[in-house]
Amino acid sequence: MSLMPENPILPKPQKDVEEILPSIQSKEYCSCLVTSGEVKLGHLLQYIRGTDYIVTYYPQVLGRDDSPTNYDINQTPDYQQYYRVKNFVFRLQGSMDNSFTSDTNQLTLSGRGIMLPGIIPNRGDIFIGDIGNARLGLFSIDSVNPLTYRDGSVFEITFKMIDYLSREIEEDLDEKTVAEYIYDRVALENGQAPIVTEEEYGQKIEIVELYKQLIKRYLGDFYSHEFSTLLVGGQGCNTTYDYYAVKAFLSVVNTRDDSRIRKIELFNVGDYALNEELSFWSMLIEKNPEYLDQVFQKYRVVTTNEFHGHPTTRSIRWTGVKSAVMPLKRQETVDSCFQGRLYSNQPLKMEFYSDPQLSSLGDDRWYVLGSNLYDENITNVTPLVEQYVARLLRGESITYAELLSFHKQVNKLPDVHRYYLQLLLIIMIKLETNRACEC
């Protein structure tokens, strides 16, 4: 018998020598001084030096294999096309340099600037800018230098004037323009895409104006000079107060919107910890779907006589308001067994209104929104308000056209519906235009 096994165990192969390159910093490293993943680019505009220079910018329409070319008035529109971006802004670095060519007796201007985010420039792009003396110049981009490797970076450009703007050049550019846009700097500062169509920009201007008028209309209809607060409309002599709606209104407006806002009182309904009750208004303003199973869904109207009777508590009982809108069923907490009970259980006075059905308010005590939203069963026949809220909670947007159409429909509703749905419209406009909710 052989002393060696038939399949001897071979020694493990030795690793080849590997060249290890030194790492200056790890890939996971993130400086504690600049949290670039959290700071919106628009918030950093104040740190870009220079003087604003507003121009009409013409980026070239280029395919994957196309190379940038210089502007040529003799080139046909089939082979040279541009987008037109009005009101574009870049930061001029210093003043423009000028030189005079004796052969042509023409003054040439050149300069350097930093492009604001929104457009990635190419050599050969052109723009029209003011050169003084009531004249406009046509400029061409000579060089482009990105100032950071990150997405959405700013670019440093050098440019020179190639001609004075003339009727012939203007007509040629009109023929070569395939689409027109507006540069919305406010959108950039709010973290939104700054390049918008003229139609969308016009609708945004209309929406912003609607917001101003809607605040005045809402206060004109529902602000009570007698009680210095907002009262639910359509309740007649049974003055009714909704703490949660008033709190939502005050969280999205400011005193610059209307002088009456500073007079609005937020009455105390703190008995039984009702001030801390979570409503869908907070869920909507914060766009937080995690609250969906925590907010109260149905309401009741209770008399204010059920609140604390001692005047020093500054309870709603002593305001003169007769009734208050409160949750019909509250979220269970560890303090539930210690909290007292409210006994009144009346509905709001509702007037009938015809289709289209905009909200579940008035149906079986639903507080503005209905069961479809809370059951996450949104369909095309779900009331419109619930469809909008569901979209916002999913991180989607509502178009300006939809908001304008919604305003026209709500305007025709009875007082009690306008009280809640116009407030919803104010909040949605605030969210969609990023008008800085003070939440």
pLDDT in tens, 326-355: 998 876 666 655 566 778 889 999 987 766
Look at residue 170 and tell me whether its pLDDT is greater than 70: yes
337 forms bridges with which residues in the sheet? none
Q: Which residue has the higher pLDDT, 14 or 344?
A: 344
Is residue 155 within 8 A of residue 146, CB to CB? The reply is yes
Is residue 101 within 8 A of residue 108, CB to CB? The reply is yes
- Phi–psi pair at 286, nearest 5 degrees: -85, -10
Over range 13-23, report the average pLDDT. Answer: 51
pLDDT at 196: 87
- Phi–psi pair at 342, nearest 5 degrees: -100, 140
Least confident of 80-94, 108-122, 208-222, 390-404: 108-122
Transcribe 224-240 into DSSP letters.
ETTTTEE--TT-TTS-E
100 forms bridges with which residues in the sheet? 107
Nearest Cα neighbor of 281 from 393, 190, 189, 365 is 393
Transcribe 183-232 into DSSP letters.
E-HHHHHTTS--EEEHHHHHHHHHHHHHHHHHHHHHHHHHEETTTTEE--
Look at residue 423 and tell me whether its pLDDT is greater than 90: yes
Q: Return the structure tokens found at 312.
A: 């020093």
Share of the chain above pLDDT 90, in %: 51
Nearest Cα neighbor of 49 from 147, 118, 122 is 147
Q: What is the pTM of this model?
A: 0.76
Mean pLDDT of the chain: 83
| Distance in angstroms between the alpha carbons of the first and the last residue of the chain | 89
Is residue 109 within 8 A of residue 127, CB to CB? The reply is no
Residue 117 is inside which H or E element, if any?
none
CA distance 349 to 70: 70
CA distance 128 to 136: 7
| 29-33, 221-225, 310-314 — most confident range | 221-225
Look at residue 396 and tell me whether its pLDDT is greater than 70: yes
Torsion of CA 103, 109, 115, 118, to 10 degrees: -60
CA atoms within 13 A on the CB side of 71: 26
Torsion of CA 22, 24, 27, 29, to 10 degrees: 140
**Cβ atoms within 10 Å of 202's Cβ, excluding its own:** 13
Over range 118-126, report the average pLDDT. Answer: 90
Residue type at position 187: A
Q: Which residue has the higher pLDDT, 245 or 191?
A: 245
Look at residue 131 and tell me whether its pLDDT is greater than 70: yes
Strand stretches in 77-224, DSSP E? 82-92, 97-101, 106-115, 126-132, 135-146, 155-164, 177-183, 195-197, 223-224
pLDDT at 341: 72
Residue type at position 58: Y
CA distance 318 to 338: 24
CA distance 374 to 400: 26
Q: Which residue has the higher pLDDT, 148 or 2?
A: 148
pLDDT at 318: 87
**Would you place residue 37 in the very low, low, confident or very high pLDDT band (cuts 50, 70, 90)?**
very low
Over range 180-190, report the average pLDDT. Answer: 84
Instruction: List strands edge to edge, sheet with 240-241.
Output: 240-241, 323-327, 299-303
155 forms bridges with which residues in the sheet? 115, 146
Look at residue 230 and tell me whether its pLDDT is greater than 90: yes
Residue type at position 25: Q
Task: Pick left, alpha or beta for residue 86 (phi over 0 → left; psi -120 to 50 → alpha; otherwise beta).
Answer: beta
Least confident of 48-52, 160-164, 337-341: 337-341
Q: Return the structure tokens found at 413.
A: 């509703």
Over range 388-409, report the average pLDDT. Answer: 92
Is residue 89 within 8 A of residue 71, CB to CB? The reply is no
Q: Return the structure tokens found at 393.
A: 């909670």
* Per-residue H/E/C for 284-341: HHHCCHHHCCCCCCEEEEEEHHHCCCCHHHCEHHHCCCCEEEEECCCCCCCCCCCCCC
pLDDT at 123: 93
Nearest Cα neighbor of 81 from 122, 131, 137 is 122
